[in-house]
Amino acid sequence: MTQPYPGPYQGPGPYQPYPYQPMPVVPQYRPLRAVGIVSIVLMGLSVLAAIAQCVLLWRSYDEVKRFVYGLLSDEEIDRGIESIAGAGPFLDLFGYLLVGTGIAFLIWLWRARDNVDVLYAPFAPPPGAPAAGPHRRSPGWVVCAWFCPIVQFWYPLQVVEDVARASEPLDQPGVARSGRIRALLYTWWATWCTFWVIVVGGGLAAVIGLIVWIVRLVEVSDSRDSGSQSVDIYDLQDYLVGVALAFDIGFTVATVLLVVAGVTVTLLMLEIGRWQHSRVVPPPAPVQDVVPPPTPQYAPRRPGPGFPTYGP
């Protein structure tokens, strides 16, 4: 039995179509392995470039001393200028690699934080999820925390620490607060911050020291032009050599700190990636040997009454 077509809308008021309600976007888990490997490789290359640059600085220290004291010939000065010009791109390689490492690490950290949102989704909260959420900072701080003055000394640490604590396996509660993980986390952050303090502060100190040396050299030249009987510039030369020595020592210490920071953050990234993967992709069940069921044995059929028999 069919129903007649009701015809056009004849209800009260204008026709109101049913409002479109888009489907909610469900967060998806994204593995950290690929971007983690890229970040680790770039960090290793940055460390190697820093070590090579440190070796070059110490090899050129004696020539810098001789140049300051005026002991280099014209040919040696020309060779030194050519060497510096040829090594310039190689020295810049460390900066390029460091920038690439920072970009890759921020991509890894952003993805790891998004994965935490999958682990702590409202429709499937894991046991023991904090009521206020696993993060102390909003998603924007994942990137901005590294560049915002003052807070950049502890906000990034909080972001990484929250990701580590929220990624710990459910069968190992409290492992992210263990002594080993806390040692990796705080050692990485302390060495990383000290590295940047030495690089930025040492560079500024070297520039200021060079400016002071130039000002003092101008003052000495003015004293000589005014007819002073005794003008000694050896102290200025010693001052400039001391600045060069301090710069080499500071960069060496910074390189050692960068090596420690690279090793600790690599171990931390691998641990967090393994934890998240184990929570989203459970390990396969062990394969057991399948024993075939025994073959049933049937008794021979006996003839019933009236069944013909053959033979004697």
> How far out from the chain centre does Cα 193 lie?
14
Amino acid at 198: I
pTM exceeding the 0.85 threshold for the entire prediction = no
Please state, in angstroms and rounded to a whole number, the distance separating the CA atoms of residues 207 and 209: 5
Q: What is the DSSP letter of 22?
A: P
Residue carrying the six token digits 């429709």: 123
Predicted local confidence at residue 279, as pLDDT? 83
Q: What is the DSSP letter of 177?
A: G
Q: Where are the alpha helices (DSSP H) in the chain?
A: 33-59, 61-68, 74-119, 141-144, 155-166, 179-225, 234-280
Residues 280 and 29 sit within 8 Å (Cβ to Cβ):
yes
Domains of the chain, by residue range, sit at 33-71+79-121+134-279
**Residue-wise pLDDT tens for the chain (312 aa)?**
555 555 555 656 565 565 656 665 666 778 888 999 999 999 999 999 889 888 888 887 777 777 767 666 666 666 666 555 555 555 578 888 989 999 999 999 999 998 888 877 654 445 444 545 677 888 888 999 998 888 889 999 999 999 998 888 878 888 888 889 999 999 999 999 999 998 888 778 777 877 877 777 777 666 665 555 444 566 667 777 777 888 888 889 999 999 999 999 999 999 999 998 888 776 666 666 666 667 666 555 565 565 555 555
Amino acid at 265: V
Predicted local confidence at residue 123, as pLDDT? 47
Residues 250 and 202 sit within 8 Å (Cβ to Cβ):
yes
The DSSP result for 211-231, as a single string, is HHHHHHHHHHHHHHHTT-S--
Residue carrying the six token digits 């040997």: 289
